[in-house]
Structure 1
């Protein structure tokens, strides 16, 4: 009987020999080693390609350009960072930060009602339709969307045609005559740049807010109503504080993506530079790699401070 049991046991669990069996036993006894080996390729890629290139970029920003020869002077200096304080460079930084802040604020104001309706009232096929409507623009080519908006905002575009049909051309002309945000047409103005940024990055604001609102317990809203709070008081005292981490989480995406984008301002807007365009111009056209690297450090520092504040507000819990 014992012989039969031994033979059946060996048939079910055969004795693995050789280095493969030893290696399998080692992984079984040390699961942390298995996890480490699985993560090792990703860690190497992140460490070498991302962190390594970031360190190389930071290193380049401490070099300078020789004004006579145009060659890079490989001596550590803060001269390149001092060039960021020049008025024309400060204008680029300020212009980009203001645009990123305006896009983030407008995205939050528009996205919140949409996300609230989807989280509180959409059910079944309507919720699936909501996700499809939000995600569908992300499936289209980035350049196709930007060039499509170029045609929409042009003088001969559909938006101008709509204003003509509504006999509101005077209103559009009055808006375009404003000194800073206006221009010859929407396609070559800061207003047009703002609208395209708003359209392209809006889904990244809606989804985190919708996820945060869905986590608000219904019993808290019911309790607020039972205690005599008005709908407005319930919104400001219950819903908004609990949805705020989602707003901050969405703002991380919209603010950072606007801060570093250079294609939209290149295609739509004025000839004034944003940070992304300045990096592209100094690295490609001017060949001033140290100044391009210094410009690149600016968004990193801004986003570092922004992420630190977002973490303190619990925004990463809503990601």
Structure 2
């Protein structure tokens, strides 16, 4: 009897190992199947259901959803009250993104160019530390800071600048009784909460700017302003756009901050919450939800062309 005939049968694990070795693509497919099913069913499936619901309508007499294809729900978005919600949210998201980019760039530049060793570790700790605390705790803390009895009002009074704060709050479009019930307060909290998401991509893009290009610009007679405008900013711009994806999209869909800090006027997230909750108008809530999805789809397409994904 030969040695082959007397060899013990291969175990199931051994046979599977041989199969996966001969067909590595099968192993990759099996490993990707669970997350792919989860993504397809839970995420994409819910988005398709949401899109389908947005083409339904609400019967005004019975209050029941009519499962018939119609564009009447989207037409409701063009009503002045609903269109103002969309416009208000987009403008706030754009302003928060611009302000975050302006504040984040010098911080990211110093960290990328000059921070080394323990100072760079301290930089990352300082940027990431606010993200480790509770989102709601931070928002409520800001509400107390911005309140009429808060520390910010006290600081203005101590510096004898109460007149300046009162003048700002008297502006009709953005003011209010106090910072905590004004668009200014909403804007400040948005910037504080989402600023780290702008700093980190910008800092990563600035670290990839070759130092020899900056030195060459100086050697060729370029002033610091010319070097910044023609060398640093174009090379760091994809990182800024990458950060703007986070700040813009997160502001666009947030409903907690405007609910706690700001006026009674709704943003898109609050409109979705109200329509699917107290109002019970699921089709209109779904239509409101589609708006930021479409806006972000356009935004991401533009960002990809600007090379933002290379900086992520």
What's the TM-score once normalised by structure 1's chain length?
A: 0.95
Name the counterpart of 1:10: none
CA shift in 2, pair 1:265/1:28, >3 Å:
same
Structure-1 separation of matches of 2:97 and 2:8: 62
Structure-1 separation of matches of 2:66 and 2:117: 63
The Cα offsets for residues 132-167 of structure 1, whole Å up to 9 and x where unpaired, read as 000000000000000000100001100011101100
What is the correspondence of 1:257-276 to structure 2 with a 5 Å cutoff? 257-276=250-269
Structure-1 separation of matches of 2:202 and 2:64: 49
Q: CA deviation at 1:15?
A: 7.3
The Cα offsets for residues 89-143 of structure 1, whole Å up to 9 and x where unpaired, read as 0000000000000000000000000000000000000000000000000000000
Select 1:29's aligned residue among 22, 37, 53. Answer: 22
* Structure 2 unaligned regions, length at least 5: none
What is the correspondence of 1:1-319 to structure 2 with a 5 Å cutoff? 17-319=10-312
Structure-1 separation of matches of 2:162 and 2:222: 45
Aligned structure 1 segments of 4 or more residues deviating by more than 2 angstroms: none
The Cα offsets for residues 214-236 of structure 1, whole Å up to 9 and x where unpaired, read as 00011111111111111111111
Instruction: State the aligned residue count.
Output: 307
The alignment partner of 1:202 has SS state of: helix
* Structure 1 unaligned regions, length at least 5: 1-5, 7-13
Structure-2 separation of matches of 1:51 and 1:288: 22
Structure-2 separation of matches of 1:307 and 1:314: 10
Structure-2 separation of matches of 1:204 and 1:34: 36
Structure-2 separation of matches of 1:90 and 1:262: 17
29-38 vs 265-274, greater mean Cα deviation: 29-38
215-224 vs 286-295, greater mean Cα deviation: 215-224
Structure-2 separation of matches of 1:122 and 1:170: 40
Structure-1 separation of matches of 2:190 and 2:42: 28
Structure-2 separation of matches of 1:87 and 1:63: 21
Structure-1 separation of matches of 2:139 and 2:288: 24
What's the TM-score once normalised by structure 2's chain length?
A: 0.97
